[in-house]
């Protein structure tokens, strides 16, 4: 029996729960909201909708229903208002994420957690610390959404079916997003052969601004149809152990030169979460974009302690469980700080190429 829990019964959460039911990805769907009546209403409405469709799936409300869930989708938090950036939500949503993670840790300790709450990259890093789960079991959903937006923009510009377009975005779910037009194709032809650099940059910018464009139009709330479709893509690969490579916010442990930081990268997703992070053959310039995104995320994560006002992390799990480097949870934040400070100092000296060595030496001294 497969249980998928969705935390947050707003538009993203409830449409995700409905899509999971429609796609028959779970025998049982749990839905939770701080507004208990709303979660109960959504559970009833979704169960009745599934019955209308001849589908035996059931949706149940409340934290009790989350017990033993295989996958938990965390959407709880405030959406952006017009004019707000995703990072304006850092403090408010950070507290909500930490509270929800306490419950998830207790009720679904073996689950794979997909974080959707904004600011996505920072909330994913925070959730991993608060959960104390191996980083392979905590990922953020952004890349499948941003790549779908890039794909839709390319399809509209060239007037071709979206199904004939392959598009990839990496980096953050924000201004340091890294659309990768070099690896984007239309009917098998490289996008870079079909449009000029300037035209591609316009599409990339529209993609970076894709969420904000909808927030402005809605005036209240943010997108849900594309986010929920993009979430379900991840849920499917996990519950069916499809091991597809999808762009997600995942913890890098040295891949692309990014150490112990969450950032959007291509990852193979299976039953236990991230099976491996995959290098699609990025150029030096694309890797530089990815690293710039990772550094910005790391510096914001380093600020989270002050925002949250308490240490949400449980005792560090033994890293051997992940077969990774011996680095404790606290070090993730500590290393981010060292990295940000070292980066500033080395940039002044024009010696950024020494960054990894300097950070590694500082960490050795600190331990
Ligand atoms: C979006 O980009 C809400 O961040 C989400 O639409």
Q: Say what the pLDDT of residue 266 is.
A: 98
**Domain boundary residue among 254, 283, 312?**
283
Pocket mutation for ligand 1, best pick of 214, 216, 218, 229 (most atoms within 8 Å of C-beta) = 214
Q: In total, how many domains does the chain have?
A: 3
Pocket mutation for ligand 1, best pick of 173, 175, 206, 230 (most atoms within 8 Å of C-beta) = 173
Contact status, residue 247 vs residue 266, Cβ threshold 8 Å: yes
Those residues with Cβ within 8 angstroms of residue 312's Cβ, 6 or more apart along the chain or in another chain = 98, 101, 126, 129, 130
Q: Say what the pLDDT of residue 331 is.
A: 40
152-198 pLDDT, tens per residue? Answer: 999 999 999 999 999 999 999 999 999 999 999 999 999 999 999 99
Asked if 9 and 127 sit in the same domain, the reply is yes
CA distance 175 to 186: 25
Q: At what angle do helices 120-131 and 329-349 cross, to 10 degrees?
A: 140
Residue ID of nearest Cα to ligand 1 atom 6: 211
Asked if 157 and 236 sit in the same domain, the reply is yes
Any residues with Cβ below 6 Å from ligand 1, and which? Answer: 118, 211, 214, 222-223, 227
Predicted TM-score (pTM) of the model is 0.84
293 located within any domain: no
Helix, coil or strand: residue 322: helix
Q: Can you say whether the dihedral through the CA atoms of 127, 129, 130, 133 is positive or negative?
A: positive
| Boundaries of domain holding 28 | 3-140
Helix (H) or strand (E) holding 276: strand 273-277
Please give the distance, rounded to the nearest whole angstrom, from the Cα atom of residue 269 to the centre of ligand 1.
Answer: 22
DSSP track, 16-35: HHHHHHHTT--SEEEEE-SS
Query: Closest ligand 1 atom to the C-alpha of 146?
Result: 2
Asked if 235 and 319 sit in the same domain, the reply is no
Q: Which two tokens stand for residue 352?
A: 């950024």
291 located within any domain: no
Please give the distance, rounded to the nearest whole angstrom, from the Cα atom of residue 228 to the centre of ligand 1.
Answer: 10
CA distance 178 to 264: 9
CATH number for 252 = 3.90.110.10
Q: Say what the pLDDT of residue 123 is.
A: 96
226-284 pLDDT, tens per residue? Answer: 999 999 999 999 999 999 999 999 999 999 999 999 999 999 999 999 999 999 999 99
């Amino acid at each position: 029996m497969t249980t998928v829990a969705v935390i947050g019964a707003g538009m993203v959460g409830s449409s995700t729960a409905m899509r999971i039911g429609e796609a028959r990805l779970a025998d049982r769907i749990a839905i939770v909201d701080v507004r208990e009546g709303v979660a109960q209403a959504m559970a009833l409405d979704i169960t009745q909708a599934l019955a209308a469709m001849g589908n035996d799936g059931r949706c149940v409300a409340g934290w009790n229903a989350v017990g033993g869930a295989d996958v938990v989708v965390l959407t709880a938090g405030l959406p952006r208002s017009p004019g707000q950036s995703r990072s304006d939500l850092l403090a408010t949503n950070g507290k909500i994420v930490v509270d929800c993670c306490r419950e998830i840790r207790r009720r679904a300790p073996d689950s794979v957690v997909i974080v959707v709450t904004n600011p996505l990259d920072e909330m994913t890093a925070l959730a991993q610390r608060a959960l104390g789960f191996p980083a392979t079991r905590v990922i953020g959903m952004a890349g499948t959404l941003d790549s779908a937006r890039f794909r839709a923009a390319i399809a509209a510009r060239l007037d071709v079916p979206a199904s004939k377009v392959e598009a990839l975005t990496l980096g953050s779910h924000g201004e340091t997003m890294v659309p990768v037009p070099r690896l984007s194709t239309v009917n098998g032809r490289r996008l870079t052969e079909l449009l000029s650099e300037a035209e591609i940059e316009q599409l990339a910018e529209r993609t970076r601004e894709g969420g904000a464009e909808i927030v402005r139009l809605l005036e209240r709330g943010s997108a849900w149809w594309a986010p929920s479709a993009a979430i379900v893509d991840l849920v499917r690969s996990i519950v069916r152990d499809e091991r597809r490579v999808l762009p997600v916010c995942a913890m890098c442990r040295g891949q692309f030169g990014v150490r112990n930081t969450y950032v959007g990268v291509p990852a193979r997703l299976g039953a236990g979460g991230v099976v491996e992070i995959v290098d699609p053959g990025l150029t030096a310039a694309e890797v530089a974009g990815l690293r710039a995104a990772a550094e910005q995320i790391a510096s914001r994560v380093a600020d989270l302690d002050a925002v949250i006002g308490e240490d949400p992390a449980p005792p560090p799990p033994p890293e051997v469980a992940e077969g990774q480097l011996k680095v404790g949870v606290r070090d993730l934040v500590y290393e981010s700080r060292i990295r940000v400070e070292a980066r500033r100092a080395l940039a002044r000296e024009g010696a950024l190429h020494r960054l990894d060595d300097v950070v590694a030496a500082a960490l050795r001294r600190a331990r």
